[in-house]
A and B are shown apart, each in its own frame.
Chain A
Amino acid sequence: MITVNLEPDGEQIEMHNTRSVIAVLNTLKLRSTMVIVVRDGELLTADRMLKNGDTLMVRKVTSAG
């Protein structure tokens, strides 16, 4: 299972059978050039693989006023 903390929404989502960052973003209908993805304090590109138990922070970059 992968846990995703979505910012700035403050939402937490759990995903199963998800193996890569791009798969997470596709599930969330987010574009890789419009969010930053962080695991354990490290930025990840969309092609990085994930493992069971990973926790991601996905932060939308568009300022909302």
Chain B
Amino acid sequence: MKCIRCKKTACVALPSHHSGFCKDCFPLFFTKQVETAIRREKMFTHDERILVALSGGKDSLALMLELKLQGYDVTGLHIDLGIPKSSEKARKKVEDFCSLHDLNLRVFEMEKWGLPIPDIKQYVKRPVCSVCGKMKRHHFNRIAVEEGFDVLATGHNLDDEVARLFANTLRWDTAYLSDQGPVLPASDGFVRKVKPLFRLSEFETANYAFLKGIEIHSDPCPYASGASFTNHKEMWGELEYRSPGQKFQFYQSFLKKGKPAFANLEKEVGVELHPCEECGSPTSAGVCSVCRIRAAVQASKVEAGVA
């Protein structure tokens, strides 16, 4: 296969775009997709301060590097979850990456905050992935708001978005279907959230990360075995292989036709938000779920005689 731009031997084939690119031209394609996402969705400008959530995986690190190369004012935020043998490896990848590319980095440690993820697994009788996700979203938003960032950017790609949309559709979850998208505007104590990689597949971010020499943390989380999103991604991967372009079409059609309808519905039944009595983060209850979980874990530890 030849590169569609320069006719050299291609190294990345993209059936969904009926094209292939060489190692020099593929990053240009990637950059164009990110630029298009930012421009069309009005995500942010060069005057705004952007906090980028960094997990150490290919998507977040690729996003951070790409935004820096495009001249944006970016700061990384890594949450050290305190999971033995896993978190230290992820953190090292992030720190080494930011040091190599001279990028600003903030690290928030769950253990120092008093609630490492192993404690949640041990003391909370709920799926650890959903509570961990809740904790991360809470701290990403809190730190973005407290430190005056204009926008929080995450490395969610097209596959992440399609897997989430598919899961929400399976449950016809109107609340989630009303606001899923590449941009969630700021409101009620929430900073604006954006996903500049939403036009790019996981395959495309993996190729970009490889070509840019990004060392990634690819070990799966030891607590995440059998996550349903991974199964949905595998299923969509097969569909995309047989019908290239299906994933993007499914997501784009939802944004145009499905989301507005669900947003109208949610306006009628949506809940009102107030600042949490403990931490000030927006919540529909008096005390937010993060503060409640933290208090419940502390109580369980006291009861068990370990705190």
Q: Is the CB of B202 within 8 A of A63?
A: yes
Q: Is the pair A36, B13 in contact by a Cβ cutoff of 8 Å?
A: no
A32 adjacent to B13 (CB under 8 Å) = yes
- Contact check, A61 vs B203: say whether CB atoms are below 8 A apart: yes
User: In the complex, what residues of A have CB within 8 A of residue B1's CB?
Assistant: 45, 47
- Roughly how many angstroms separate A39 CA and B155 CA in the complex, as a whole number? 27
B23–A31 touching, CB < 8 Å: no
Q: Cα distance A43–B234 when bound, in Å?
A: 22
Question: Closest CB-CB distance, A44 to chain B, in whole Å?
Answer: 7
Contact B233–A62 (Cβ < 8 Å): yes
Interfacial residues of chain A within 40-65, with CB under 8 A of chain B in the complex: 42-47, 59, 61-65
Does B230 lie within 8 Å of A33, measured CB to CB? no
Q: What residues of B have a CB within 8 angstroms of the CB of A7 in the complex? A: 218
Please determine whether B221 and A65 come into contact, CB atoms closer than 8 angstroms.
yes
B211 partner residues in chain A, CB cutoff 8 A: 43
Question: In the complex, what residues of A have CB within 8 A of residue B210's CB?
Answer: 36, 38, 43
Report the separation of the CA atoms of residues A61 and B225 in the bound assembly, to the nearest whole angstrom: 16
Nearest to A65 among chain B residues (CB) is: B224
A34 interface residue, CB < 8 Å from B? yes
- Interface check B12, CB cutoff 8 A: yes
**What interface size band does chain A fall in?**
20 to 34
B23 touches A64 (CB 8 A): no
Q: Which residues of A lie under 8 Å from residue B116 when comparing CB positions?
A: none
Contact of B10 among A36, A45, A65 (CB under 8 A): A45
Q: A31-B241, A36-B207 are in contact. Are A45 and B59 (CB under 8 A)?
A: no
Q: Is the CB of A65 within 8 A of B227?
A: yes
User: Complex: how many Å from CA A23 to CA B206?
Assistant: 22
Contact A46 B13 (CB under 8 A): yes
Q: A7-B218, A63-B59 are in contact. Are A43 and B238 (CB under 8 A)?
A: no
B20 within 8 A of A: yes
Least CB distance from A41 to B in Å reads 9
* Contact residues in A for B221 (Cβ distance below 8 Å): 64-65
Nearest Cβ in chain A — how far from B16, in angstroms?
Answer: 8
A8 to B13, CA, bound (A): 22
Would B241 and A33 count as touching, CB distance under 8 A? yes
Task: Say yes or no: B218 contacts A34, CB within 8 Å.
Answer: no
Decide: A33 and B15 in contact? CB cutoff 8 A: yes
Cβ of B237 within 8 Å of any chain A Cβ, yes or no, is yes
Contacts of A65 in B (CB 8 A): 129, 220-221, 223-225, 227, 229-230
Q: Are A61 and B202 in contact (CB under 8 A)?
A: yes
With A45-B20, A62-B202, A63-B59 known to touch, is A8 a contact of B220 (CB < 8 Å)?
yes
A63 CB contacts on chain B under 8 angstroms: 57-59, 160, 202, 220, 230
Residue B240 lies at the interface, judged by CB distance under 8 Å to chain A = yes
Q: Name B230's contact: one of A32, A38, A62 (CB within 8 Å).
A: A62
B13 pairs with A34, CB closer than 8 A = no
Provide the bound-state CA to CA distance between A64 and B238, in Å: 17
The B-contacting residues of A in range 8-47, CB under 8 angstroms, are 8, 31-34, 36, 38, 42-47
Residues of A whose CB lies within 8 Å of any CB of B are 7-8, 31-34, 36, 38, 42-47, 59, 61-65
Nearest 6 CB-CB pairings of A with B: A65-B224, A64-B220, A43-B11, A61-B206, A45-B13, A31-B241
